[in-house]
A = this chain, B = another copy of it.
Amino acid sequence: MLIKSRLFTPGPTPLLPSAQLAMAAADIHHRTADFRTLYSRVLADVQTFVGTKNDVVMFASSGTGAMEASVSNLTSPGDKVLVVTAGKFGERWTQLAQAYGCNVEVVSAEYGKTVTPEQVKAKLSQDVKVVYMQATESSTGVRHDVEAIAALLKNTDTLLVVDAITGLGTTHFDVDGWGIDVIIGGSQKAVMIPPGLAYLAVSERAWKRMESAKNPRFYFDLRKERKNAAKGESSYTPAIALIAALASAMDFIRNMGKGDLAAGRVALVDNAEMCAEMMREAALALKMKLFAPDAPSAAVTSIIPPAGVDSTKIVKLFRDEFGAVISNGQGDEMKGKIFRMAHLGYFDYMDTIATVGALEQVLGIISLPKHVEFGYGLKAAQEVYARVAGSARNAKAVVSNP
């Protein structure tokens, strides 16, 4: 049978075709007016996409590079920082802060749960210089309450750094209103292009902190990058093709918002929310349990396989039968225990319904759970779509018939 290759992973995500073409055509030099025009436009668009007035800087790096930048630029050895963690990416904050000699306090929740604002509050004190957290922890599929945690830091000198690498485009943020000092995104996520670019939006008080922060930095020097970005330049050779692709992706999101990039961002988040809800309802109808039922992210849905089934088998069947790459549990503790399916970026209704169909078939090969038939998961997903799209149609009808 014909089998297409498809990614349903929380990064890399499926590529936007127009961005692929832009990438293929990106035959320009980075010390030219052409590039400066392109780069200035992309930086401004990303600022709108993030939804902030803060300056944006960008690196040719993975998201981890931008995470490192927000440690090395904002801390000095011995600084007390608080890491909010409930999964593999939270743990990365701890490793990073330790690598730079910080005095790391950790506030954690078990995998699949979210850290509550109360837990964070209990650990806060005047001497905490920075709080590091994820918006969505894609290793477990949980969403943290960024707004509530940000509210705890209002009128304090503690900075808030949010890794929103899988959060941007899947979660609504009011970056400036809530007071997120650094928010981090990556290219291979909701913006639908390949890995290799990371970006940060940085608040004025974070820029000010850098003046006294003593940790060493060179490639990831945010202030140097900001100065060059203002001229449409990057400090070192930029990932030109990815920047051209990102420009194209921003245009696509702008089109989703009918010419308004901020509206397009909202539509992209709503789309991910809908796809995620389809998947969650399907999983429940197929008598499986969600791994993060209380605060599920729209970036990725984590599902616990039926009793006695290793999720590695489910991942393998998806690949072998349908050419579809889904994610296993991340790390030795989680591998085999959950499987994860992404909704961030270039996924639509048809992709999602197809994934639910494939999930039913995969379960069918292993053996469908008791009292489950083909179509149960699909029906549940269909009802979500009909409700969400029906509401959107009604809302539109109201607007056009006032």
Contact = CB atoms under 8 A, between A and B. Distances in A.
Interface of A: 1-4, 6, 24, 256, 267-268, 270-271, 274, 321-324, 346-351, 353-355, 357-358, 360-361, 364-365, 373-376, 378-379, 381-383, 385-386, 389, 392-393
Contact of A357 (B1, B323, B353): B353
Contacts of A323: 348
Nearest to A323: B348
A17 to B, nearest CB: 9
A389 B267 contact: no
Contacts of A376: 375
Nearest to A350: B354
Given A2-B267, A2-B271, A382 B360 contact: yes
A379 B375 contact: yes
A93 B149 CA distance: 73
A253 to B, nearest CB: 9
Given A361-B389, A385-B361, A386-B361, A268 B379 contact: no
A217 B244 CA distance: 49
A350 B319 CA distance: 13
Contacts of A346: 2, 4
Given A322-B350, A374-B382, 12 more contacts: A1-B267, A4-B351, A321-B389, A322-B349, A324-B350, A353-B378, A354-B354, A357-B381, A361-B382, A364-B382, A374-B379, A378-B378
The copy count of this chain in the complex is 2
B382 A4 contact: no
A269 to B, nearest CB: 10
Contacts of A351: 4, 350, 354
B386 A357 contact: no
Contacts of A354: 349-351, 353-354, 357
Nearest to A368: B386
Given A374-B382, A375-B378, A350 B2 contact: no
Nearest to A267: B1
A379 B379 CA distance: 9
A1 B374 contact: no
Contacts of A350: 4, 6, 322, 324, 351, 354-355, 357-358
Contacts of A3: 348-349
Of A364, A374, A375, A383, most B-chain CB atoms within 10 Å: A375
Nearest to A355: B350
A379 B382 contact: no
Contacts of A378: 353, 357, 374-375, 378-379, 382
Contacts of A383: 374
A365 B397 CA distance: 14
Which of A6, A353, A385 has the largest number of chain B CB atoms within 10 A? Answer: A353
Contacts of A4: 346, 348, 350-351
A374 B351 CA distance: 17
A2 to B, nearest CB: 4
A1 B379 contact: no
A277 B303 CA distance: 31
Contacts of A256: 2
A248 to B, nearest CB: 15
Nearest to A256: B2
Contacts of A381: 357
Contact of A270 (B1, B321, B349, B382): B1
Given A353-B357, A357-B353, A2 B347 contact: yes
A268 B306 CA distance: 34
B386 A379 contact: no
A374 B386 contact: yes
Nearest to A272: B2
